[in-house]
Structure 1
Amino acid sequence: MTQGLALLAFLVVSFLAVGSLLVGARLLRVRARVDSPLKRETYECGETPRGMAWVRFHARYYVVALFFVLFDIEAALILPWSTIVREVGTTGLVAVGTFVGVLMLGWAWAMRKGALQWV
């Protein structure tokens, strides 16, 4: 029962702390003195902006992002292994070889399906 009360007290104090910080930030925020339309304009290095600032990217760019994440994680997992390659021996080599092999099979399958054909 005492652990339950301690947890309840911790939750109450946590919510009160977060709430007081949010209220304090709202009360102490910096406000602009003058609200003119000129302050709401986009500033581009002294140049007057041309066109809309919101550029729509094609939805197929997510494939490039997924490939980047895939191979970034691969590098993040292989680089530490490369520092201890002598200590882990053949077992480590087989494990990393299997890991890279599965990644390459997935990459080859995606290329065969035309994942980056539009690029």
Structure 2
Amino acid sequence: MSPWTAVLGLVAVLAFGVLGIYLVSLVIRPHETLDARPFMSGSPPREHALSRYHVRWYAVTLVFLAFDMEMVFMYPWAVVVGEVGTMALVEMFVFLGLLMVGVVYAWREGAFRWS
């Protein structure tokens, strides 16, 4: 069997899968008009789309991004830490220390208080 036959077979299976999912969604979807329900949840909006957010949401988002970036940098580090040795361990602790300074600062500024 040629490699292209396998690729074309996979594309055909995927196309039938997508078509099948589309047909199933047409059958089980609600058949009423969706003018009053613009969101995927089907519920009407509770507030205006241009309403303002409290600043605490931005602070929580920035803290989340800090921890997210920590994980992005720790995965490749975990792969090479055995080869690089002690220097990689020291660099990671410096990196984690800098992140903890940011977390302590956010904590002292009240970013985690919801009252």
Q: Determine what percentage of the aligned residue pairs are the same residue.
A: 36
Which structure exhibits the higher relative contact order, with contacts defined as CA atoms closer than 8 Å and separated by 6 or more residues? Answer: 2
Whether the 8 Å contact between 2:37 and 2:43 is mirrored in structure 1 is yes
- How many pairs align? 80
Which residue matches 1:42? Answer: 36
TM-score, normalised via structure 1 length: 0.54
Of stretches 87-96 and 105-114 in structure 1, the one that deviates more from structure 2 is 105-114
Which residue matches 1:54? Answer: 49
Whether the 8 Å contact between 2:59 and 2:106 is mirrored in structure 1 is no
2:95 is aligned with 1:102: no
Counterpart of 1:100 in structure 2: which amino acid? L
Counterpart of 2:94 in structure 1: which amino acid? T
CA distance in 1, matches of 2:43, 2:62: 36
CA distance in 2, matches of 1:74, 1:81: 11
Q: Aligned to 1:66, which of 62, 70, 76?
A: 62
C-alpha RMSD of the superposition: 2.9
The offset of 1:105, in angstroms, is 1.7
TM-score, normalised via structure 2 length: 0.56
The offset of 1:115, in angstroms, is 1.9
Matches within 5 A, 1:1-119: 41-43=35-37, 49=44, 52=47, 54=49, 56=51, 57-118=53-114
Counterpart of 1:41 in structure 2: which amino acid? D
Whether the 8 Å contact between 2:56 and 2:111 is mirrored in structure 1 is no
Counterpart of 2:57 in structure 1: which amino acid? Y
Which ranges of 4 or more aligned residues in structure 1 deviate by more than 6 Å? Answer: none
The offset of 1:106, in angstroms, is 1.9
